[in-house]
Amino acid sequence: MLETSEPVLQVQGLKTLFNTRSGNLHAVNSVSFNLQAGELLGVVGESGSGKSVTMMSLIGLLPTPPAEVQAGSVMFGGQDLLKLSQRSLQNLRGRDIGFVFQDPMTSLNPVFTVGFQIMEPLRRHMGMNKSEAQARAIELLDLVGIPDARRRLKDFPHQFSGGMRQRVMIAIALACDPKVLIADEPTTALDVTIQAQILELVKELRQKLGMAIIWITHDLGVIAGIADRVMVMYGGQVVEYGPVREVFANPAHPYTRALMTTVPSVRGARAPKLNVIEGQPPILSQHPIACPFRARCPKAFDRCGRENPARYDVAPGHDAACFWDYQTGAPR
């Protein structure tokens, strides 16, 4: 599934600032990545690492002000999304790029039926009439595994359980056959058994529909189960990027390493004591001239406070932003 020719989405040097009363927050700093056709890119990071803001910046969903996309380019279908007007972006969102958000209760409108909300993008983007849209909506609810779809169209969001609502969100996102699906913590609000249902559904839908997916999460376990490639973010930057197996087997950034050992496993060996990343995540108000992880990093040395490390190739397709080289056990 990896290494296909032309990426569907190419992000280069994306920078997003928030202008706040107490100064600028550098929420996203020089983020670059490619999304290949049909692949699932997992984005991991803690709250405030910039993973959601990155994806919102791509498609112009951030309120401006306070947010400001300062630099970078986002190439999708031969055009730079950052240069498009709001109107053209509106035509693109929901049609070429679909979304699923974390909390299905707040992202569905409680006063409209589920059927109306699934049919809305179909009628707006695909120009379907009511009966066509309805037929497609039933098909979509079937696809995401909601039984008795025809009757359920008339139900309101509160009549669905959390897992079912998230299925509805996925149905809406898939309505217009998007090329890219961005899912922002879609299973975080759900229980594990329901999460397992949704993950299974996504695996199945990928095979059927072959779209590219960006899956944002803070759960390394979810990434390990479904992603082809993983991007680890910290302090608004990409600190590691590569194929899932390669990154898990051979993590090259101290943050990725630490993250993997702070999470206890449910099946593997049980560690007597949890590894701890001391300290707090960085405050993003300073200009990012040094490595954001240096204060918590076991390998930090003087250079890390002077320069912000650029990403270097660890292995083909696998890079990390760090001055320390685990392969040689010495600074690069």
Partner 1 sequence: MTKPRRKLVEVRNLKMYFPIHAGVLRRHVGDVKAVDDVSFDIFEGETLGIVGESGCGKSTCGRAVLRLYDITDGSIKIDGVEIGSKSQSALRKLRPTMQMVFQDPQASLNPRMTVAGIIGEPMDEHTDWSKARKLERIYELMDAVGLNRNFVNRYPHSFSGGQRQRIGIARALALNPKFIICDEPIAALDVSIQAQVVNLLEELQDRLGLTYMFISHDLSMVRHIADRVAVMYLGKFIELAPRDALYAEPLHPYTQALLSAVPDPDPASEERVERIILKGDVPSPANPPQGCNFCNRCPKVMDICREIDPEFRELESGHFVACHLYNDAGQTGASRHEHTQQGEDA
Question: For binding to partner 1 (CB under 8 A), which residues are involved?
Answer: 46-47, 161, 163-164, 191-197, 199-200, 218-225, 244-245, 248, 258-260, 262-268, 270-271, 273-278, 280-281, 296
Pick the closest to residue 195 from 168, 222, 224 (CA basis). Answer: 222
- Least Å from the CB of residue 175 to partner 1: 24
Strand partners, 232: 44, 240
Task: Please check whether residue 100 is in contact with residue 184, taking contact to mean a CB–CB distance below 8 angstroms.
Answer: yes
Q: Can you tell me the distance from the alpha carbon of 78 to that of 95, in angstroms, rounded to the nearest whole number?
A: 16
| For partner 1, the closer CB: 51 or 179 | 51
Residue 198, both tokens? 């949704």
| For partner 1, the closer CB: 194 or 209 | 194
- Least Å from the CB of residue 228 to partner 1: 10
| For partner 1, the closer CB: 54 or 98 | 54
Phi, psi at 19, each rounded to 5°: -90, 110
- Least Å from the CB of residue 151 to partner 1: 17
| For partner 1, the closer CB: 93 or 167 | 167
| For partner 1, the closer CB: 71 or 276 | 276
Task: Please check whether residue 159 is in contact with residue 111, taking contact to mean a CB–CB distance below 8 angstroms.
Answer: no
- Least Å from the CB of residue 143 to partner 1: 17
Give the 3-state secondary structure of residue 15: strand
- Least Å from the CB of residue 123 to partner 1: 30
CB neighbourhood size of 124 (10 A): 16
- Least Å from the CB of residue 254 to partner 1: 12
- Least Å from the CB of residue 330 to partner 1: 26
| For partner 1, the closer CB: 140 or 220 | 220
| For partner 1, the closer CB: 20 or 91 | 20
**Residue 237 burial class via C-beta count within 10 angstroms: exposed 0-12, middle 13-18, buried 19 and up:** buried
Pick the closest to residue 13 from 35, 31, 34 (CA basis). Answer: 31
Q: Can you tell me the distance from the alpha carbon of 164 to that of 6, in angstroms, rounded to the nearest whole number?
A: 35
- Least Å from the CB of residue 280 to partner 1: 5
| For partner 1, the closer CB: 217 or 308 | 217
Pick the closest to residue 44 from 36, 29, 54, 34 (CA basis). Answer: 54
| Helix-strand-coil split of the chain, %, nearest 5 | 35, 25, 40
Pick the closest to residue 52 from 72, 35, 27 (CA basis). Answer: 27
